[in-house]
Amino acid sequence: MMTFIIPICMLLGPVTIASLLVWGERRLLALFQERYGPNRLGILGIGQLPADMLKMFFKQDWIPPFADKFVFVLAPAIVMATALFSFMVVPIAPGFVVWDSDVGLLLFLALSALGAYAVVLAGWSSNNKYSLLGGLRASGQMLAYEVFMGLSVMGVAARAGSFNLTRIVESQSSCWNIVPQLIGFVIFYIAALAETHRTPFDLAEAESELVAGFHSEYSGLKFGMFFVGEYIGVTLMSAMMAVLFFGGWQGPFWSGPWWFILKTILLIMSFVLVRATFPRARYDQLILLGWKYLFPLALLNLLITGVVILW
Amino acid sequence: MLGPSVLFSVSATLAVFSTLMAMISRQAIHALLYFILSLLSLSLILFDLGAHFAAALELLIYAGAIMVLFLFVVMLLNPTQELPRKNLWLPGSLFVAFLAELIWLMPGKASLDAAQVINLSEVWVLLFKKYGVLVELSSFLLLAGLIAAYRIGRK
């Protein structure tokens, strides 16, 4: 019975949270900027969500005649598929995980790397120069930030002695990884922002220079998939940070999945806060920051962690 | 003797098909996409054989990193016109010959059902104890490539 319940929870949970974020992010952004945001429809304006969804369903789902049709349709599916697949290895509570894999962490990194294809292919298949520029930017950015996203969590894996995410959570029973792996966390956080292309690093869809970047030509439900896919990515990154650095389901008292959910939601809110706070970086600054500062820092962090473990 | 599993059969067929399509596709990006599909199905085969670590690395490094770089370069050059239809007689006949050989060899080597999951620490011990020198030497080779790329980039 549980073999069916767990996968269904892991599929529906992230999608629900992500679609609530469509409304939640606008409300939170408004809060941070001393505005109201969408507050008219229903309690606290939550009716905005079904209204937006209905609008998106009824819009014309247009495929440009000059686009590469197959790849154009494939790209939004990749966003959703890779992000939702990654939830397979996220442990919510002891035993409450779809696949308690020994390569869980690697699988997460691999799937987030595959997520880069969605943006790149969307940019290419639209056959539009703004989309292509967006796709190019996205591929350069994700390739760079993937590298030390992987390196930054290797310290965590070394401390736990395993890539198994359940074991990683259990290894944090005395002290959360955020304390000994603070540098790793900061690097992972920045890489997560770049990987989900959120605002300081949303060069792939910078509307002030590239119309809407890689999804300029998308409309209707396909655009909706990119839109919700981004929020699923944010949810995934927050869940992974809760697992890797904040002790997963473990809390100071009454350890259980509610701690995990609370940590995930707080981390998602921090993503929104970052978006509300920082202006967009320039592309060369982004790549420079990645290769010249964060990459050596991640290597150094790994080296020091190794020395401390073997001391 | 158990036959190969369903997952293996499906992914192996997919691997052969997508590799073939990668060779005969007339558009560069489509060929690359087929190649990525073939890497994904290879990773599935490794997974089915119990080599989870190798499967994850195949996904992470080949499909996730190297092919994105390939795609990046192809997009940067953006070849708009399709490649001319190639003469497929020689590669085609070679392909058929290899496929026939594989099918002919298959019934003899039926050790595919031994899908026990390989422990990660075994892999590490092998890599850094038994084949340690080899791993270090290959990393030197990569370093040479890195320095060469740096030299070319400086010009």
Residue type at position A196: T
In-domain check, residue A182: yes
Token pair belonging to A137:
């930017």
Residue of B nearest to A144 (CA): B65
Q: Do B36 and A117 touch (CB under 8 A)?
A: yes
In-domain check, residue A102: yes
| Nearest by CB: A146 against B33, B65, B71 | B65
pLDDT in the model for residue B1: 40
- How far apart are alpha carbons A139 and A213 in whole angstroms? 12
Token pair belonging to A203:
């060069």
pLDDT in the model for residue B113: 54
pTM value? 0.85
- Taking contacts as CB-CB distances below 8 angstroms, the residues of chain A near B68 are 113, 116-117, 120, 139, 142-143
| Nearest by CB: B56 against A110, A135, A139 | A110
In-domain check, residue A36: no
The dihedral over CA atoms of A144, A145, A146, A147, expressed in degrees to the nearest 10, equals: 60
Q: How much of chain A exceeds pLDDT 70, in percent?
A: 99
- Taking contacts as CB-CB distances below 8 angstroms, the residues of chain A near B53 are 102-103, 106
CATH number for B4-114 (one of 2.30.30.90, 1.10.357.10, 1.20.120.1200, 3.40.50.150): it is 1.20.120.1200
Parent domain of A66: 62-310
- How far apart are alpha carbons A26 and A18 in whole angstroms? 13
In-domain check, residue A1: no
Residue A252's SS3 state is coil
Does the pLDDT of residue B107 top 70, yes or no? no
Neighbours of B150 (CB within 10 A): 9
- Taking contacts as CB-CB distances below 8 angstroms, the residues of chain A near B119 are 102
pLDDT in the model for residue A136: 83
CA atoms within 13 A on the CB side of A32: 15
- Taking contacts as CB-CB distances below 8 angstroms, the residues of chain A near B76 are 136
Token pair belonging to A177:
């990884």
Chain mean position to CA A120: 17
Under 8 Å between Cβ of A141 and A286: yes
In-domain check, residue A50: no
Task: Print burial letters for A146-179: b (CB count within 10 Å at least 16), e (below 16).
Answer: bbbbbbbbbbbbbbbebbbbbbbbbbbeeebbbe
Under 8 Å between Cβ of A66 and A127: yes
Under 8 Å between Cβ of B2 and B111: no
Does the pLDDT of residue B82 top 80, yes or no? no
* Residues ≥6 apart with Cβ < 8 Å to A263: A238, A242, A246, A248
In tens, the pLDDT along B4-58 reads 677 888 888 888 889 888 877 777 788 888 898 999 999 888 888 878 888 888 8
Q: For chain A, how many structural domains are there in total?
A: 1
pLDDT in the model for residue B110: 54
Average pLDDT over residues B103-115: 63
Does the pLDDT of residue B75 top 80, yes or no? no
Chain mean position to CA A154: 19
In tens, the pLDDT along A118-159 reads 888 888 888 778 888 888 888 888 888 888 888 888 888 888
Q: Do A110 and B120 touch (CB under 8 A)?
A: no
pLDDT in the model for residue B117: 73
Under 8 Å between Cβ of A223 and A55: no
In-domain check, residue A143: yes
Q: How much of chain B exceeds pLDDT 90, in percent?
A: 5
Q: How far is B4 from chain A (nearest CA, A)?
A: 23
Nearest to A205 by CA among A228, A184, A227, A177: A227
Q: What letter would DSSP give residue A93?
A: B
Residue type at position A69: K
- How far apart are alpha carbons B111 and B113 in whole angstroms? 6
Q: How far is B17 from chain A (nearest CA, A)?
A: 18
Chain mean position to CA A158: 23
Confidence of residue B143 (pLDDT cuts 50, 70, 90): very high
Residues of chain A with pLDDT under 70: 206-207
CA atoms within 13 A on the CB side of A196: 26
The three-point CA angle B5-B8-B9 to 5° equals 90
- How far apart are alpha carbons A19 and A228 in whole angstroms? 6
Average pLDDT over residues B78-100: 75
Does the pLDDT of residue B2 top 60, yes or no? no
- How far apart are alpha carbons B60 and B66 in whole angstroms? 9
Strand partners, A139: none
* Residues ≥6 apart with Cβ < 8 Å to A290: A141, A144, A145, A148, A194
Q: Do B71 and A117 touch (CB under 8 A)?
A: yes
Mean of per-residue pLDDT scores for chain B: 80
